[in-house]
């Protein structure tokens, strides 16, 4: 059985890939010849300048009047005068040589004095040599010649780059420098197991061929931004033991027509020369969008690049040992031909990390950090639902920055809490000036949210309440879920609506007037109620029907949204949304009226301390501070697993129950 040829050795160190190596193997030999002309020219110019500027060090320089006085005294025996520049050279009776500068021309009296007192004195008018006289003319001509020669070299270099513009820009990683392995990827065991199967095929293809198994040609990593798709691909490069070619989708796009298709051909040709290899295309949606969607026809450059990629993927067999990997967070806009069996026929979902995954990711990012004993990784993981790996890394870094600002050597739990508030709600605005009436209104607003969250059975446990302005919010009531939620029961959603109405209702009960502070609460409550009626079938009047598409608009695919129900049905939907909201508002009134004294206690505590914990709220209300019983959160077996939370109810919103927004 013929074996695939081994991969070629990596190129020599240096950005030129070994192109500037001399026959002896030493770099820079051609670079020396490149500068030889300039060095020679500089040496010639320096020789002329040195000979013309260096003075005659063998003669003593004297002033011209001193020369005349010595001439009158008879000390000068011989000399010469240059009629061009007035330089005088003289020798006295002792053989000492002098130099002086006289006027040009010499006065007649001085000429007579010199001629009568010096027997051997010459008047010279030297003429310039050929090279000296031609130098002012040759120098500009030489500079012009050098300029045009330099321009020609530049043009040749640009022509070479233009001729190589169709070559792939993929970075090649060999097995000798893995850099990242699966040990550096925390969590995601299911994703690792699927990709490990691809790696095993590349390492031992005979084991798969013996049973007749065919490994997919293409693997597509799909997931939200920040979940570590590129990191997983780098780990594959470290674990595979085969060459790994990495390129981004934008590397195929240039201003020249046909460059993208040419680079795709060159990429696959390079992979074939390596034998077994992995091709990774990051952000593949930039070139893999649906063809024929939007403006532009079949000759669009992006479509030509995609067509060439599809053709190349069909051109190599699985026995060649080439596996493609792609990463995207927009699988909905990819062309169906790219996802069919035989191309990217396996999609691996890289979701947002679960609770256990977040604990492992936090442990990785906490390595090398000085942590205090009060830091609870489990509590941090519980308080960060919906955060990606990148968000968690940023959270720990922000906590370290807060520790530095406090002037301590360790990261404490309070620093992590401050960092989480900073990431979720924005920077605290301690300098914001609020009047006493505004502070009181905000305190009662947040107290209303907190009491509803603490009293109702189906809500998430209350974590803390604050009236310190953060970001765009003037106050925040925060809840921490006890466990990961993937589906949401109707009673949980209705209690959540009651908590959203808690702030507005508290203001209405205490002040007999409402304010603009509940604008964000009303938007979230209306969106949640609309999803209950239109998508989840939680209305008896409308029935178990789903109305309205929630798909994202893609140019050319869903440019015009059409309503798939009549005006009368739209009116019924609006009535049901209003009925649900009013019912939960009435429930909120009942809860807060029954805890009217507790509302004053919590509000006064907020005005005094600005931030109080959920246990403190429970103590003020006379409630047990322990966690709510598990039986109050029984299983969700009555809800279909295909249900998904709507906008405003996903896991990223569960941590912040409500905010009092600025007007």
User: pLDDT tens across 400-453, in order?
Assistant: 988 898 888 889 988 888 888 777 766 667 667 778 888 889 999 999 999 999
Task: Provide the mean pLDDT of the chain.
Answer: 74
* Domain boundaries 355-424, corresponding CATH code: 1.10.8.60
Beta-strand relationship, 87-92 and 76-82: antiparallel
**Sheet with 60-61, side-by-side order of all strands:** 60-61, 97-101, 87-92, 76-82, 120-124
54 pLDDT more than 60: no
Pull the structure tokens for residue 66: 């001193």
Average pLDDT rounded to a whole number, residues 289-310: 64
553 pLDDT more than 60: no
> Which of 115-129, 283-297, 467-481 is predicted least confidently?
283-297
pLDDT digits (tens, 9 = 90+) for 521-550: 999 999 999 999 988 889 888 888 887 655
Average pLDDT rounded to a whole number, residues 198-212: 77
Distances 357 to 413, 484, 644 between C-alpha atoms, Å: 20, 12, 21
CA atoms within 13 A on the CB side of 333: 18
317 pLDDT more than 60: no
Contact between 299 and 342 (Cβ < 8 Å): no
* Per-residue model confidence (pLDDT) at position 500: 93
Of 363 and 176, which is predicted with more confidence?
363
Average pLDDT rounded to a whole number, residues 457-479: 84
Please state whether 264 falls in left (phi above 0), alpha (psi between -120 and 50) or beta.
alpha
625 pLDDT more than 80: no
* Per-residue model confidence (pLDDT) at position 643: 33
pLDDT band at 50 (very low <50, low <70, confident <90, very high): low
- CA–CA distance, 227 with 352 (Å, rounded to integer): 6
* Domain boundaries 171-349, corresponding CATH code: 3.40.50.300
- CA–CA distance, 262 with 240 (Å, rounded to integer): 27
High-pLDDT (> 90) share of the chain, %: 12
Element (H, E) at 618: helix 614-621
131 pLDDT more than 70: no
- CA–CA distance, 456 with 500 (Å, rounded to integer): 12
pLDDT band at 647 (very low <50, low <70, confident <90, very high): very low
Of 210 and 649, which is predicted with more confidence?
210
309 pLDDT more than 90: no
High-pLDDT (> 70) share of the chain, %: 72
Average pLDDT rounded to a whole number, residues 144-163: 66
Contact between 237 and 155 (Cβ < 8 Å): no
Pull the structure tokens for residue 306: 């995609």
655 pLDDT more than 60: no
205 pLDDT more than 70: yes
Q: Known catalytic residues? A: 446
235 pLDDT more than 60: yes
pLDDT band at 585 (very low <50, low <70, confident <90, very high): very high
pLDDT digits (tens, 9 = 90+) for 250-270: 666 655 555 667 777 777 777
Cβ neighbours around 431 below 10 Å, total: 6
* Per-residue model confidence (pLDDT) at position 507: 92
* Per-residue model confidence (pLDDT) at position 53: 52
Radius of gyration of the chain (CA): 42
Average pLDDT rounded to a whole number, residues 37-59: 63
Cβ neighbours around 283 below 10 Å, total: 19
- Judging by beta carbons within 10 Å of its beta carbon (0-12, 13-18, 19+), is residue 369 exposed, middle or buried? middle
* Per-residue model confidence (pLDDT) at position 657: 41
Q: Give the distance between the most distant pair of CA atoms in the chain.
A: 137
* Per-residue model confidence (pLDDT) at position 563: 65
Q: Is the peptide bond before 105 cis (omega within 30 degrees of 0)?
A: yes
Contact between 305 and 252 (Cβ < 8 Å): yes
Provide the residue ranges of all domains of the chain, joining segments of one domain with +: 58-126, 171-349, 355-424, 427-549+563-661
Domain 427-549+563-661 listed as CATH 1.20.58.760: yes
pLDDT band at 314 (very low <50, low <70, confident <90, very high): confident
* Domain boundaries 58-126, corresponding CATH code: 3.30.720.210
Pull the structure tokens for residue 233: 């691909």
Q: Which of 356, 342, 379, 119 is nearest to 215 (CA)?
A: 342
- CA–CA distance, 243 with 5 (Å, rounded to integer): 12
* 3-state secondary structure at position 57: coil
């Amino acid at each position: 059985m013929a074996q695939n040829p081994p991969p070629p050795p990596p190129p020599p160190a240096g950005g030129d890939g070994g192109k500037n190596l001399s026959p002896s193997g030493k770099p820079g030999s051609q670079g020396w010849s490149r500068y030889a002309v300039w060095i020679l020219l500089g040496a010639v110019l320096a020789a002329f300048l040195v000979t013309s500027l260096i003075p005659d060090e063998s003669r003593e320089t004297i002033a011209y009047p001193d020369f005349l006085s010595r001439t009158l005294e008879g000390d000068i025996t011989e000399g010469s005068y240059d009629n061009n520049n007035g330089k005088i050279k003289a020798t006295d009776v002792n053989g000492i040589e002098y130099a002086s500068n006289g006027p040009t021309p010499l006065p007649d009296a001085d000429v007579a004095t010199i001629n009568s007192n010096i027997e051997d004195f010459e008047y010279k008018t030297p003429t310039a040599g050929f090279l000296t006289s031609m130098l002012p003319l040759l120098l500009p001509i030489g500079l012009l010649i050098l300029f045009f020669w330099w321009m020609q070299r530049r043009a040749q270099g640009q022509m070479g780059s233009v001729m190589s513009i169709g070559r792939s820009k993929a970075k090649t990683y060999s097995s000798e420098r893995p850099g990242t392995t699966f040990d550096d990827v925390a969590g995601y065991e299911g994703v690792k197991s699927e990709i490990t199967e691809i790696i095993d095929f590349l390492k031992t293809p005979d084991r798969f061929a013996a049973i007749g198994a065919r490994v997919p040609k293409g693997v597509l990593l799909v997931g939200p931004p920040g979940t570590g798709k590129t990191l997983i691909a780098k780990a594959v490069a470290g674990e595979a033991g085969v060459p790994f070619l990495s390129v981004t989708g934008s590397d195929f796009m240039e201003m020249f027509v046909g460059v993208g298709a040419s680079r795709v051909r060159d990429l696959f040709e390079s992979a074939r020369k390596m034998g077994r290899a992995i091709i990774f295309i990051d952000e593949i949606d930039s070139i893999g969008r649906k063809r024929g969607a939007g403006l532009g026809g079949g000759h669009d450059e992006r479509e030509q690049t995609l067509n060439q990629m599809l053709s190349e993927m069909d051109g190599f067999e699985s026995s060649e040992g080439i596996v493609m990997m792609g990463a995207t967070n927009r699988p909905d806009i990819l062309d169906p031909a790219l996802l069919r069996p035989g191309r990217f026929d396996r999609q691996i979902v890289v979701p947002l990390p679960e609770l256990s995954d977040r604990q492992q990711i936090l442990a990785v990012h906490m390595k090398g950090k000085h942590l205090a004993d009060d830091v609870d990784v489990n509590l941090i993981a519980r308080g960060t639902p919906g955060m990606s790996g990148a968000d968690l890394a940023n959270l720990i870094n922000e906590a370290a920055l807060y520790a530095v600002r406090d002037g301590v050597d360790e990261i404490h739990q309070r620093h992590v809490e401050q960092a989480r508030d900073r990431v979720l709600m924005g920077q605290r605005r301690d300098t914001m000036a609020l009047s006493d009436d505004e502070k009181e209104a905000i305190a009662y607003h947040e107290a209303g949210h907190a009491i509803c969250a603490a009293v109702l059975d189906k809500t998430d446990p209350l974590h803390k309440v604050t009236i310190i302005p953060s970001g765009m919010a003037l106050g925040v009531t925060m809840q921490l879920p006890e466990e990961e939620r993937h589906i949401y029961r109707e009673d949980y959603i209705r209690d959540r609506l009651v908590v959203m109405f808690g702030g507005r209702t508290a203001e209405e009960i205490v002040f007999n007037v409402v304010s603009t502070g509940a604008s964000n609460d009303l938007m979230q409550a209306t969106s949640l109620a609309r999803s209950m009626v239109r998508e989840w079938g939680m209305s008896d009047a409308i029935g178990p029907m789903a109305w309205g598409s929630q798909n994202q608009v893609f140019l050319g695919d869903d440019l015009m949204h059409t309503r798939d129900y009549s005006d009368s049905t739209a009116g019924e939907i609006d009535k049901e949304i209003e009925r649900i909201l009013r019912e939960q508002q009435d429930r909120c009134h009942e809860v807060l009226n029954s805890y009217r004294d507790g509302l004053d206690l919590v509000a006064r505590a907020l005005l005094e301390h600005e931030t109080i914990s959920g246990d403190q709220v429970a103590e003020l209300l006379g409630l047990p501070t322990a966690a709510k019983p598990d039986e109050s959160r029984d299983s969700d077996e009555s809800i279909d697993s295909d249900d998904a939370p709507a906008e405003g109810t996903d896991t990223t919103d569960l941590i912040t129950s409500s905010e009092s927004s600025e007007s």
